[in-house]
């Protein structure tokens, strides 16, 4: 982006470079140690696992007005376009080779909402945990154990689970993710106020979407914890209470 000053005015000229594949960029952890530890990924001995961040796409395909991760702000989504399952799995193995014991997929929506990629990636990861494919990153028993024991998390949206998929498909996806080691699902519910939701360009269609997500995640025995619960001043007290109740920790 080029910004030019003219008196009190600033002229901004956004520039588009050539399209490129995410695999063309250097692996972020090639130069930096995996250091983060998030208590959402506990180890058996009570410690917190060393956690790597992973991205398969740099922007969200949705266009919520208030969000800086939207493709409207971030611009053209950059993904692993060429053989994405192999490319993402290779990055996962690389990060495990660097010592990652857990991984959080920071995609605004896991795999950019590409359902086929989600399924294919989870199946490939589950197979790799068992079959130990040849690769340049994992060599000894300790490396392979980290992969077999890897915990990971991802973000989905209420809309994705309850409106864009059938209930059966959503369950199948969650179970496939769980079989591949996913132990943590991050889902934002924003506001329970239809007045607010009607103004933020959030593509929610069903009034019962958050409870619908609850049913899915309980069905898969997923842990559910509140990250934060906030309400707009125009939210009624009862709607704010509903949001807080919905985000209460789950039993599983």
Region near ligand SF4 per CB under 6 A, out of 58-66, 80-88, 120-128, 223-231: 58-66
| Angle made by CA atoms 149, 154, 155, in degrees to the nearest 5 | 165
Instruction: Return the residue of 151, 157, 165, 193 that touches ligand SF4, per CB under 6 A.
Output: 157
Burial (CB count within 10 angstroms: exposed 0-12, middle 13-18, buried 19+), residue 147? buried
Q: What is the DSSP letter of 132?
A: -
- Binding track over 186-215 against ligand SF4, x by CB under 6 A: ----------------x-------------
Residues 100-139 binding ligand SF4 (CB under 6 A) are 108
- Close Cβ partners of 134 (under 8 Å, ≥ 6 residues apart): none
Query: CA-to-CA distance for 231 and 6, rounded, in angstroms?
Result: 41
φ, ψ (nearest 5 deg) of residue 110: -45, 130
Region near ligand SF4 per CB under 6 A, out of 64-72, 129-137, 162-170, 176-184: 64-72
Applying CB under 6 A, the site for ligand SF4 has a residue count of 9
Query: CA-to-CA distance for 168 and 104, rounded, in angstroms?
Result: 25
Q: Where are the beta strands (DSSP E) in the chain?
A: 2-6, 9-13, 37-42, 48-54, 102-105, 151-157, 182-188
Residue 93 binds ligand SF4 (CB under 6 A)? no
State in angstroms the smallest separation of the CB of 41 from ligand SF4: 22
State in angstroms the smallest separation of the CB of 187 from ligand SF4: 10
Region near ligand SF4 per CB under 6 A, out of 12-20, 61-69, 90-98, 210-218: 61-69
State in angstroms the smallest separation of the CB of 138 from ligand SF4: 32
Q: What is the DSSP letter of 57?
A: B
- Residues in a beta bridge with 182: 152
Residue 62 binds ligand SF4 (CB under 6 A)? yes
Q: Which is nearer to ligand SF4, 67 or 170 (CB)?
A: 67
Residue 69 binds ligand SF4 (CB under 6 A)? yes
Region near ligand SF4 per CB under 6 A, out of 49-57, 66-74, 99-107, 144-152: 66-74
* SS3 label, residue 138: coil
Query: CA-to-CA distance for 49 and 35, rounded, in angstroms?
Result: 10
Instruction: Return the residue of 56, 70, 114, 247 that touches ligand SF4, per CB under 6 A.
Output: 70
Q: Which of 108, 123, 221, 105 is nearest to 159 (CA)?
A: 108
State in angstroms the smallest separation of the CB of 17 from ligand SF4: 23
Which chain residues interact with ligand SF4 by CB under 6 A? 60, 62, 64, 67, 69-70, 108, 157, 202
């Amino acid at each position: 982006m080029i910004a030019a000053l003219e008196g009190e005015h600033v002229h901004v000229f956004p520039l588009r470079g050539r399209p490129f594949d995410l695999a063309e960029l250097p692996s972020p952890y090639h130069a930096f140690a995996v250091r983060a530890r998030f208590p959402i990924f506990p180890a058996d001995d009570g410690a917190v696992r060393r956690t790597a961040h992973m991205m398969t796409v740099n922007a969200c395909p949705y266009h919520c007005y208030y969000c800086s991760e939207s493709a409207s702000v971030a611009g053209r989504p950059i993904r692993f376009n060429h053989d994405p399952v192999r490319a993402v799995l290779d990055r996962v193995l690389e990060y495990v080779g660097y010592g990652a014991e857990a991984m959080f997929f920071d995609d605004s929506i896991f795999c950019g909402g590409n359902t086929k990629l989600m399924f294919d990636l989870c199946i490939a990861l589950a197979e790799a945990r068992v079959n130990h494919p040849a690769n340049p990153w994992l060599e000894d028993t300790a490396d392979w154990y980290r992969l077999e024991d890897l915990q990971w998390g991802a973000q989905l949206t209420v809309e994705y689970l309850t409106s864009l998929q059938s209930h059966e498909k959503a369950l199948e996806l969650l179970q496939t993710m769980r079989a591949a080691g996913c132990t943590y699902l991050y889902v934002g519910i924003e506001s329970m106020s239809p007045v607010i939701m009607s103004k933020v360009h959030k593509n929610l269609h069903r009034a019962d979407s958050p409870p619908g997500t609850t049913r899915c995640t309980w069905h898969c025995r997923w842990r559910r914890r509140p990250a934060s619960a906030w309400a707009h001043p125009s939210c009624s007290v009862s709607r704010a209470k509903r949001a807080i109740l919905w985000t209460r920790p789950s039993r599983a």
